[in-house]
């Protein structure tokens, strides 16, 4: 059986490089771990010598050093193991942090359509549990293996100085325990994982068949057959898990048998030597009892082999994500000049579409200047968010252009520019923008890393959160729950508005800022947003019409000749007078608000 496929081995090597482990710290943890285990083995050896020597009733002076050594090894064992835990876990956690950063960087540098196509649960599992499993490889597999090798060699060498035949037997038994048992465990682990995959496929398919086709199965009289098939699959899974557990039990038995063989072997070869006078009887006790502690080195290798397979599969899933992101890397096509004092955004004959998908809207002509606000409205699913992402330079236009006015007084394409250069012009706040599990101040620093406390207070005041921040127990240092679970929906939206205002970008784009809020709160938020900054251009997508009186221009998307276009444009009052569709939508909104 192949324990690791070539893909798993390659993924492990790539992930380990991305971990960026500090080799010096890793070998320091190996050294302290080996020293701690050596102290435990030495403690056992000295204790065996002390007991055997004391049975000969020597002068007390002859035993004076041994108790001190027992105490020394007992204390050093605990101290060194604690130090090894600190160093090894710090090394692994630093590596996991680095790996997560590099994976996020790969995702951030890929095309928006690739990132949007990823399922959140899948990304969360790979960024969380899978990267944890890769990091655990260091602490639970590589480190125990290195410590076992070093301490086993030291023990065998020490026993060889006392009696070489006993050292040879110990080396053989340690090899059986440290190599044979882990190989059997790996085989059991692989079979258990195969059984789990079988459960994920056959069981899910059979269950979905019953749930989705219940009526047809009852009518055809095959429901009982389907249920029996489901029960048989469950029984097969249980049988597979039982059979996968047997090699694990065998591995544990091998480890115990190797320990017993080392002890018995030492007695068998040592007793004749004692009888012949070539081995001190006290040393017979040492070479017999020391192996009991020596096998502490190989005991973790069974779980380490399990961790190796789990980590290899996790590394494969992580590298699939990284490779997918790298293959779709959004490479810059041109440099973007620095923004000037007045930055404008325009779209000319723009058609929008997700890469590889059909055209969603076309013939879009827009322009927004500093101090102006533009609202994009239309029915649900008509393509407002896609248009906003295209205006932000995240998605390429299927036709036409999206350009910004630079400091050189020239219009340059936004899409294809380096992300950092584009971010100086445009900032996008998505509908599902995240509030992080950190302080209010750090949540604002997501947009601009050097915001001071004074600037943060001004931004929050500007977003209508001045009273709210003053009432928090720790002010700006108050920690918010992940996803803003500790604050209301209105406070969350206003905090996102403050973050958008914190951005140095001169053009702010916001997607549904009033979503999931009550009508009064949503209208107040949108009104504040449209009046928030007289020096910036603001573009927002919204389904709320009653708050758009402050917008300089409102564009209504609708279908015309089977294509989505701008069917009406103007101020809020102008559209009420000229567009029946807009006026009707406002009436429907007001009636639903009552």
Q: Where do the structural domains in the chain lie, given as residue ranges?
A: 8-330, 339-428+508-566
- What is the structure's pLDDT at 330? 66
CA neighbor of 8 nearest in space, from 137, 115, 177, 161: 137
Non-local CB neighbours of 174 within 8 Å, separated by 6+ positions: 152, 155, 156, 258, 262, 294, 295, 297, 298
- What is the structure's pLDDT at 258? 92
The C-alpha atoms of residue 223 and residue 34 are separated, in whole angstroms, by 61
Query: What secondary structure does DSSP assign to 213-268, as a single string?
Result: THHHHHHHT-HHHHHHHHHHHHHHHHHHHHHHHHHHHHHHHHHHHHHHHHHHHHHH
The C-alpha atoms of residue 374 and residue 240 are separated, in whole angstroms, by 62
| Residue for token pair 């009892």 | 289
Rg of the chain over Cα atoms, rounded to whole angstroms, equals: 35
Q: Show pLDDT as tens, one digit a residue, over the chain (594 residues).
A: 467 788 888 888 998 888 888 889 999 999 999 999 999 999 989 888 888 888 887 777 777 788 888 888 889 989 999 999 999 999 999 999 989 988 888 887 777 767 777 776 677 778 888 889 889 999 999 999 999 999 999 999 999 999 999 999 999 999 999 998 888 888 777 777 766 666 666 777 778 778 778 888 888 888 888 888 888 877 877 776 676 667 667 778 888 899 999 999 999 999 999 999 889 999 999 999 999 889 988 988 888 888 888 888 889 888 888 887 777 766 777 787 878 778 889 999 999 988 778 889 999 999 998 888 899 998 888 888 889 989 988 888 889 989 988 888 888 888 888 888 888 888 888 877 888 888 889 989 988 888 999 999 988 888 888 888 888 888 888 888 765 557 787 788 888 888 988 888 888 998 888 777 778 878 888 887 787 667 788 899 988 888 888 888 999 998 887 788 888 899 888 999 888 898 898 888 888 776
The Cα angle at residue 539 between residues 333 and 396, in degrees rounded to 5: 25
CA neighbor of 541 nearest in space, from 422, 428, 396: 428
The C-alpha atoms of residue 397 and residue 414 are separated, in whole angstroms, by 10
The architecture (CATH level 2) of 339-428+508-566 comes to: 3-Layer(aba) Sandwich (3.40)
Catalogue the E-assigned strands of 447-487: none
Sheet holding 399-405, edge to edge: 411-413, 399-405, 345-352, 361-368, 563-570, 553-560, 373-378, 537-541, 507-511, 426-429
Is residue 503 helix, strand or coil?
Answer: coil
The C-alpha atoms of residue 563 and residue 561 are separated, in whole angstroms, by 5
8 A C-beta contact, residue 391 and residue 383:
no
Task: Give residue-wise pLDDT tens across range 234-261.
Answer: 787 777 667 666 766 777 888 889 999 9
The C-alpha atoms of residue 497 and residue 491 are separated, in whole angstroms, by 10
- What is the structure's pLDDT at 586? 87
- What is the structure's pLDDT at 163? 92
CATH homologous superfamily of domain 8-330? ABC transporter type 1, transmembrane domain (1.20.1560.10)
Instruction: Report which secondary-structure segment, H or E, holds 45.
Output: helix 23-54
The Cα angle at residue 317 between residues 316 and 319, in degrees rounded to 5: 65
CB atoms within 10 A of CB 482: 12
8 A C-beta contact, residue 377 and residue 543:
yes
pTM (predicted TM-score) = 0.70
- What is the structure's pLDDT at 482? 62
Give me the residues paired with residue 373 across strands: 538
- What is the structure's pLDDT at 483? 55
The C-alpha atoms of residue 222 and residue 214 are separated, in whole angstroms, by 10
């Amino acid at each position: 059986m192949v324990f690791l496929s070539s893909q798993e081995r390659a993924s492990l090597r790539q992930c380990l490089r991305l971990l960026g482990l500090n080799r010096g710290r890793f070998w320091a943890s190996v050294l302290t771990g080996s020293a701690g285990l050596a102290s435990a083995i030495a403690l056992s050896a000295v204790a065996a010598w002390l007991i055997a020597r004391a049975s000969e009733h020597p002068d007390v002076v002859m035993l004076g050093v041994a108790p001190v050594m027992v105490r020394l090894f007992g204390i050093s064992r605990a101290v060194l193991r604690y130090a090894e835990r600190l160093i090894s876990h710090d090394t692994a956690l630093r590596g996991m942090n680095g790996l997560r950063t590099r994976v996020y960087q790969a995702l951030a540098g890929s095309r928006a359509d690739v990132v949007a196509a990823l399922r959140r649960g899948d990304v969360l599992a790979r960024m969380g549990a899978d990267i944890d499993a890769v990091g655990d490889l260091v602490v639970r597999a590589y480190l125990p293996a290195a410590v076992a090798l070093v301490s086993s060699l030291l023990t065998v060498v020490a026993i060889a100085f006392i009696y070489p035949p006993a050292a040879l037997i110990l080396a053989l038994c340690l090899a059986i325990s440290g190599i044979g048992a882990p190989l059997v465990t790996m085989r059991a682990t692989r079979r258990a994982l195969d059984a789990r995959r079988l459960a994920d496929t056959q069981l899910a398919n059979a269950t979905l068949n019953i749930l989705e086709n219940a009526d047809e199965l009852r009518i055809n009289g095959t429901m009982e057959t389907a249920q029996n098939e489901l029960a048989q699959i469950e029984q097969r899974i249980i049988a597979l898990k039982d059979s996968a557990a047997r090699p694990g039990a065998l591995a544990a038995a091998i480890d115990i048998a190797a320990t017993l063989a080392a002890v018995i072997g030492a007695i068998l070869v040592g007793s004749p030597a004692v009888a012949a006078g070539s081995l001190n009887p006290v040393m017979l006790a040492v070479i017999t009892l020391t192996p009991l502690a020596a096998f502490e080195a190989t005991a973790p290798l069974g779980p380490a082999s399990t961790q190796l397979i789990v980590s290899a599969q996790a590394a494969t899933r992580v590298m699939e994500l990284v490779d997918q992101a790298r293959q779709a890397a959004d490479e810059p096509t041109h440099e973007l000049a620095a923004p000037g004092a007045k930055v404008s955004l325009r779209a000319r004959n723009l058609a929008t579409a997700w890469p590889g998908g059909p055209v969603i809207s076309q013939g879009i002509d827009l322009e927004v200047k500093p101090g102006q606000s533009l609202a994009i409205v239309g029915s649900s699913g008509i393509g407002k968010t896609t248009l906003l992402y295209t205006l932000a330079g995240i998605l390429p236009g299927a036709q036409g252009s999206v350009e910004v006015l630079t400091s050189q007084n020239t219009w340059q394409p936004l899409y294809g520019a380096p992300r950092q250069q584009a971010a100086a012009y445009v900032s996008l706040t998505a509908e599902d923008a995240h509030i992080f599990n950190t302080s209010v101040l750090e949540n604002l620093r997501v947009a601009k890393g050097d915001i001071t406390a004074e600037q943060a207070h001004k931004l929050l005041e500007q977003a209508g959160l001045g009273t709210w921040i003053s009432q928090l127990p720790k002010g700006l240092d108050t920690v918010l729950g992940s996803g803003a679970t500790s604050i209301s929906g209105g406070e969350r939206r206003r905090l996102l508005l403050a973050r958008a205002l914190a951005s140095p970008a001169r053009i702010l784009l916001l997607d549904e800022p009033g979503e999931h809020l009550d009508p009064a709160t949503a209208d107040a938020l949108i009104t504040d947003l449209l009046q928030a900054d007289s020096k910036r251009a603001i573009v927002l997508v919204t389904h709320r019409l009653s708050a758009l009186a402050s917008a300089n221009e409102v564009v209504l998307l609708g279908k015309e000749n089977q294509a989505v276009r701008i069917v009406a444009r103007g101020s809020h009052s102008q559209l009420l007078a000229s567009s029946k569709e807009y006026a009707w939508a406002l009436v429907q909104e007001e009636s639903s608000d009552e």
